[in-house]
């Protein structure tokens, strides 16, 4: 316990058992739950809780629509959106999970058909062999989106209001006081508000994280960033070699493009990359390791951006006529975590708890996973009255595991950018982790049916990548160990490390053939990921005892095919349009 002014603040480690101080004593609160921040995370949580009858208030410092970053989706994020919509019966939460929702989600969002990577060397035109186009499978749900966050967040916030949440905009919270029997939230104006529980979804400047001094910066990754929205950013193939010359399934503008180089990378996320698009903007961000490229306070962010990319002729050509349409944001080191994520009557959500780097776009996946866990626990707490740190301990474990996993992956990726041969093999580590995580998420939903507790029990075992598969963890440990130890400036050491990592991947009987093809020099993943080789009873995925047991459990091949076909129908445009119309008619009658 410690004192704050004349009040007592109780803090418990999450290992402690529920205590009376954090049990609801039946006192009359203004709200069940108060949420700080109406970004996609805070608003999604508010919508779920309000949908289930909880009294929810959300405080937002600014007012919608407002600029936000975090625009590139990954399959795991989209699947988590479907899971949230399904298990909490809030269909709107799936509206950004596939291109097939565009008629309802709006045409200001871009489409993402691949994750594209071009590795550059200073002073040289891009070498086409240094390419990876990680094509995103279209089946069964359709391709993914680039989120125009001012619109997605406004929509999510409005959805929360539609389900009954109170949202107070232009109201920065400046103090939160978790007490024994309630939480008191204070804004600059207005009377203090009380609630049973507070969720801080306010991002890096989280009021609670600052108040309790829980920030931890002891992380491997070091990057700083500058980003904005631009116009006149052409498709890479208009200024560089053609799609045909690269021999790629998709144009680079049809996905999220990452320009990689020693010491950093640059994202290109177009919103104007499909026939239905109505948004001319393209999101652009540059990430640099500050140990290699210290901050340039002598330059504006825009001057620094153009001065930096001038050394890479193929990147500079793509931005020759580009203009920012809003002020650049420049941020210092981006990495942080929190040594405490939950306390009695409070929790930090997603970005408020930790962040590593936008590389691989894991941020929203981690945030929405946290929404799932918190919503489940808060619905239970409403019944039991137990708002203790112990009751919410899973959130701390999962959040901290996610941040550490992202840190390891991103730090070693930055190391790999120093020598293309390292990136070529380490990219397979990233892909394997993402792919297995996605398979697990899909199968968890398939197996759980309507049983949210069963899904939750599996979800809390995941660690951002690898789908909780022990054999994956073992591989990751080996490969990351090699990556962390290799002297990237020593050619011979790199050659040895690359050979060792190659050997590790090639010895796995559960790795997909297209990943091995990347090790052999192929520059893209095939459009069709469903390979007959996966179904071979002897050596395929369904034949390996441990792999099958972990990911597919009792599901038979027939079950999987039926489930896949059902998902395809349920996420196809005609079915979604029918569902949408039905929902509209039901609501119009009320
Ligand atoms: C440079 C960068 C790029 C990123 N790119 C990606 C990406 O491509 N893909 C991806 O998945 N993730 C990405 N992320 C991560 C992603 O941005 C976050 O995961 C996501 O935005 C989290 O959403 P949120 O709702 O939790 O927080 P936010 O979207 O940050 O919303 C927080 C809200 O809280 C409000 N707020 C803050 N303080 C207060 C206060 N005291 N009182 C009231 N309101 C307050 C803010 O005004 C804001 O509206 C990126 C992050 C960064 C930093």
Q: Report CA-CA distances (Å) from 42 to 48, 153, 517.
A: 10, 10, 41
Indicate the angle between helix axes 452-459 and 420-448, nearest 10 degrees: 160
Answer whether residue 26 shows pLDDT above 80: no
Q: How does strand 193-200 pair with strand 31-36?
A: parallel
Question: Rounded to whole angstroms, how far apart are CA atoms 561 and 497?
Answer: 40
Contact 387, 381 (CB under 8 A): yes
pLDDT at 531: 58
What's the whole-number mean pLDDT along residues 435-456? 97
Instruction: Give 542's pLDDT tier (boundaries 50, 70, 90).
Output: low
> Rounded CA gap, 56 and 30, in Å?
9
Q: pLDDT category, 15, cuts 50, 70, 90?
A: very low
The residue whose two tokens read 């289930």 is: 52
| pLDDT at residue 408, rounded to an integer | 98
- 336 secondary structure, DSSP code: B
Average of pLDDT values for 438-462? 97
**Residue 12 pLDDT level (bands cut at 50, 70, 90):** very low
Indicate whether 292 pLDDT > 80. Answer: yes
Please determine, for residue 140, whether its predicted confidence score (pLDDT) is greater than 60. Answer: yes
Residue indicated by tokens 């019966």? 89
Q: Over 70: is that where the pLDDT of 20 sits?
A: no
Q: What is the pLDDT of residue 17?
A: 34
Contact call for residues 423 and 337 (beta carbons, < 8 A): no
Identify each DSSP E strand in 445-507 by its residue range: none
Q: How many CB atoms lie within 10 A of CB 41?
A: 29
The DSSP annotation for 338-352 comes to: ES--EETTEEE-GGG
Nearest CA to ligand 1 atom 15: 363
* Residue 8, pLDDT score: 26
Q: Does the pLDDT at position 565 exceed 70?
A: yes
- Percentage, residues of the chain above pLDDT 70: 93
**Does the structure show a pLDDT above 90 at 18?**
no
What is the band of 588 on the pLDDT scale with cuts at 50, 70, 90? Answer: confident
User: Which one, of 406, 547, 550, 551, lies nearest residue 480 by Cα?
Assistant: 406
| Residue nearest atom 4 of ligand 1, based on CA coordinates | 70
Neighbours of 453 (CB within 10 A): 10
pLDDT (average), residues 186-191 = 87
Average of per-residue pLDDT across 72-76: 97
Q: Is the pLDDT of residue 406 over 60?
A: yes
In contact, 188 and 207? CB cutoff 8 Å: no
Q: Would you place residue 25 in the very low, low, confident or very high pLDDT band (cuts 50, 70, 90)?
A: very low
DSSP state of 220: S
Pure H helices in 349-392 = 363-384
**Separation of CA 203 and ligand 1 centre (Å):** 5
Q: What's the chain's length in residues?
A: 590
Across 555-570, average pLDDT = 93
List, for residues 342-375, the tens digit of each pLDDT value: 999 999 999 999 999 999 999 999 999 999 999 9
CA of 408 to the centre of ligand 1 (A): 22
What is the model's pLDDT at position 22? 45
**Ligand 1 pocket check: which of 34, 35, 36, 39 to mutate, most ligand atoms within 8 Å of Cβ?**
39
Taking alpha carbons only, the member of 268, 182, 286, 189 closest to residue 231 is 268
Please say whether the beta carbons of 45 and 374 come within 8 A: yes
- How many whole angstroms separate alpha carbon 241 and alpha carbon 244? 8
Q: Alpha-carbon distance 332 to 295, whole Å?
A: 8
Decide: 378 and 35 in contact? Cβ < 8 Å.
no
pLDDT by residue (tens digit) across 492-515? 999 999 999 999 999 998 898 899
> If you ran DSSP here, which 8-state letter would residue 284 be given?
E
What is the reported pLDDT for 4?
29
Q: What number does the ligand 1 atom closest to the CA of 256 have?
A: 8
From the CA of 549, how far away is ligand 1's center (Å)? 37
Q: Give the Cα separation of 535 and 550 in Å (integer).
A: 16
- What is the model's pLDDT at position 530? 57
Mean pLDDT of the chain: 92
CB 140 within 8 A of CB 571: yes
Q: Is residue 5 over pLDDT 80?
A: no
C-alpha–C-alpha distance, residues 531 and 545, integer Å: 19
How many whole angstroms separate alpha carbon 43 and alpha carbon 153? Answer: 8
pLDDT at residue 487 is higher than 60: yes
Please state the pTM of the whole predicted model. 0.94
The residue-averaged pLDDT of 251-280 equals: 97
Q: Inform me whether the pLDDT recorded for 532 exceeds 90.
A: no
Containing 211, the helix (H) or strand (E) segment is: helix 207-212
- The minimum-distance atom of ligand 1 relative to the CA of 365 is 11
Distance 353 CA to ligand 1 centre (A): 11
Beta bridge partners of 536: none
H helix and E strand count, the chain: 19, 22
pLDDT above 80: residue 297: yes
Residue of 35, 62, 70, 77 to test ligand 1 pocket, by largest number of atoms within 8 Å of CB: 70
Contact by Cβ (8 Å): 355, 206: no
Span 416-428, average pLDDT:
98
State the sign of the Cα–Cα–Cα–Cα dihedral 52, 464, 17, 457: positive
The pLDDT of residue 556: 87
Per-residue pLDDT, averaged over 277-302, amounts to 97
User: For residue 12, which of 384, 391, 371, 338 has the smallest C-alpha distance?
Assistant: 391
pLDDT value at 567 more than 70: yes
- Cβ < 6 A, ligand 1 pocket: 36-42, 59-62, 68-72, 77, 172-173, 201-203, 205, 207, 225, 227, 285, 334, 349-351, 355, 358, 361, 363-364, 367
Which pLDDT score, from 0 to 100, does residue 265 have?
98
Instruction: Please give the average per-residue pLDDT across 25-52, as a whole number.
Output: 91
**Mean pLDDT, residues 558-564:** 92
CB 330 within 8 A of CB 206: no
């Amino acid at each position: 316990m410690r004192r704050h002014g004349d009040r007592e603040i109780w803090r418990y480690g999450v290992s402690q058992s529920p205590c009376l101080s954090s049990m609801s004593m039946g006192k009359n609160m203004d709200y069940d739950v108060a949420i700080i921040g109406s970004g996609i995370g805070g608003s999604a949580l508010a919508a779920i809780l309000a949908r289930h009858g909880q009294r929810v208030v959300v405080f937002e410092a600014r007012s919608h629509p407002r600029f936000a970053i975090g625009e590139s989706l990954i399959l795991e994020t989209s699947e988590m959106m479907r899971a949230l919509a399904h298990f909490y019966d809030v269909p709107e939460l799936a509206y950004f999970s596939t291109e097939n929702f565009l008629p309802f989600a709006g045409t200001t969002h871009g489409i993402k058909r691949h994750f594209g990577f071009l590795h550059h060397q200073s002073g040289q035109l891009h070498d086409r062999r240094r390419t990876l186009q990680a094509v995103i499978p279209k089946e069964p749900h359709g391709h993914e989106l680039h989120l125009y966050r001012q619109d997605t967040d406004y929509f999510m916030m409005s959805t929360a209001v539609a389900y009954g949440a109170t949202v107070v905009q232009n109201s920065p919270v400046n103090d939160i006081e978790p007490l024994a029997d309630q939480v008191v939230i204070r804004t600059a104006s207005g009377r203090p508000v009380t609630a049973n529980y507070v969720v801080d979804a306010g991002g890096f400047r989280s009021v609670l994280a600052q108040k309790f001094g829980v920030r931890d910066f002891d992380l491997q990754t070091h990057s700083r960033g500058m980003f904005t929205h631009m116009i006149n950013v052409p498709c890479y193939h208009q200024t560089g070699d053609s799609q045909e010359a690269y021999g790629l399934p998709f144009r680079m503008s049809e996905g999220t493009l990452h320009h990689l180089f020693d010491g950093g990378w640059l994202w290109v996320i177009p919103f104007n990359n499909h026939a239905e698009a109505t948004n001319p903007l393209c999101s652009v961000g540059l990430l640099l390791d500050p140990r290699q490229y210290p901050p340039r306070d002598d330059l504006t962010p825009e001057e620094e951006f153009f001065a930096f990319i001038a050394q890479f002729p193929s990147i500079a050509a793509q931005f020759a006529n580009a203009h920012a349409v809003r002020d650049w944001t420049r941020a210092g080191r981006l990495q942080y975590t929190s040594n405490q994520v939950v306390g009695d009557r409070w929790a930090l959500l997603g970005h408020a708890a930790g962040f590593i780097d936008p590389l691989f776009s894991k941020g929203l996946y981690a945030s929405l996973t946290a929404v799932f866990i918190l919503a489940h626990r808060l619905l239970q707490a409403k019944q039991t009255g137990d708002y203790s740190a112990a009751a919410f301990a899973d959130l701390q474990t999962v959040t901290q595991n996610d941040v550490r996993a992202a840190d390891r992956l991103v730090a070693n990726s930055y190391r790999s950018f120093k020598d293309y041969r390292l990136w070529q093999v380490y990219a397979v580590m990233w892909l394997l982790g993402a792919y297995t995580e996605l398979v697990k998420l899909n199968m968890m939903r398939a197996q759980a049916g309507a049983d949210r507790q069963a899904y939750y029990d599996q979800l809390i075992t995941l660690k951002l990548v690898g789908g909780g598969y022990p054999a994956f963890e073992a591989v990751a440990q080996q490969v990351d160990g090699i990556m962390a130890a290799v002297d990237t400036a020593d050619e011979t050491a790199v050659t040895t490390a690359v050979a060792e990592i190659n050997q590790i991947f090639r010895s796995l009987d559960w790795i997909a053939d297209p990943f091995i093809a990347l090790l052999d020099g192929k520059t893209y993943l095939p459009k069709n990921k469903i390979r007959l080789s996966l179904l071979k009873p002897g050596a395929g995925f369904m034949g390996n005892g441990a792999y099958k047991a972990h990911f597919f459990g009792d599901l038979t091949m027939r079950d999987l095919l039926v489930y896949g076909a059902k998902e395809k129908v349920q996420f196809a445009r005609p079915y979604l349009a029918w569902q949408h119309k039905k929902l509209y008619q039901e609501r119009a009658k009320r």
